[in-house]
Every structure is written in C-alpha cells, then in structure tokens.
Amino acid sequence: MSKFNDIIKSDIPTLVDFYATWCGPCKMMHPVLDDLKKHFGEKIRVLKIDVDKNQQLAEQLKIRGVPTLILFKSGEKLWRESGAYPLNKLISMIQAHIH
C-alpha cells in the first residue's frame, strides 16, 4: 500500500486502472490503455491494479465496479469514473487535467 501511495504522490500524473481478470470491459480497456500510454509517453503513468489481489486498497478507495479509472497527481485525485472508455475520450479527459 505504501508503494501505491508513493506512486500516486508523484508529480507525474498517474492513471490507475482498477480491473478484474474476469471482467469483459476490463479486457477491452487493455489495448486502449496501451495506446493511451503510447500517446502520452513519459507525461503520464498507467498503473493497473487487480481488485481481487488488492482487496484492501480497492475497499479503501471504495471501488464498487470494474473497470474504475482514477487519475492522481501529487497525491490528489483529479478524476474518477467507472466503465470502459474510448481512447479519444480518455485523451481529452487527461489533457484537461494535466495541461
């Protein structure tokens, strides 16, 4: 958990994807998140967290459905949504929060 806190406290915006291996929409998001990382390069970090393996963290952050995406910067939550999103919507959302 302290490692997670260290990561989200970074000045580099971090998009955390809370997912489950059995979740269909989560599987659809995998290539979208890969493309998102390619688009932004070093400007953002993408962190995937399996809710089944990290139940305490998921409970602490009140993750009720997967996928849930949360954008953090310097320890602050900038944006949070549940569900699958197309690449262009994620790009615009992140640009709105990091520029």
Question: What's the domain count of the chain?
Answer: 1
23 is a catalytic site residue: yes
Angle CA 6–10–15, to nearest 5: 95
Q: What's residue 99's pLDDT?
A: 67
pLDDT confidence of 2, banded at 50, 70, 90? Answer: confident
Q: Which residue has the higher pLDDT, 6 or 1?
A: 6
Task: Say how far apart CA 69 and CA 85 lie, in whole Å.
Answer: 10
Residues 6+ apart with CB under 8 A from 81: 68, 69
pTM: 0.94
Angle CA 73–35–76, to nearest 5: 10
Each residue of 49-93: pLDDT tens digit?
999 999 999 999 999 999 999 999 999 999 999 999 999 999 999
Share of the chain above pLDDT 70, in %: 98
Q: What's residue 97's pLDDT?
A: 87
Task: Say how far apart CA 17 and CA 34 lie, in whole Å.
Answer: 12
Each residue of 25-58: pLDDT tens digit?
999 999 999 999 999 999 999 999 999 999 999 9
Side chain identity at 66, as an amino acid letter?
A: V
Please tell me which residue in 15, 16, 20, 26 is annotated as part of the active site. Answer: 26
33 is a catalytic site residue: no
Q: What's residue 1's pLDDT?
A: 60
> 42: domain CATH number?
3.40.30.10
Please tell me which residue in 15, 16, 20, 23 is annotated as part of the active site. Answer: 23
Range of the domain at 26: 2-98
Residue with token string 């953090």: 72
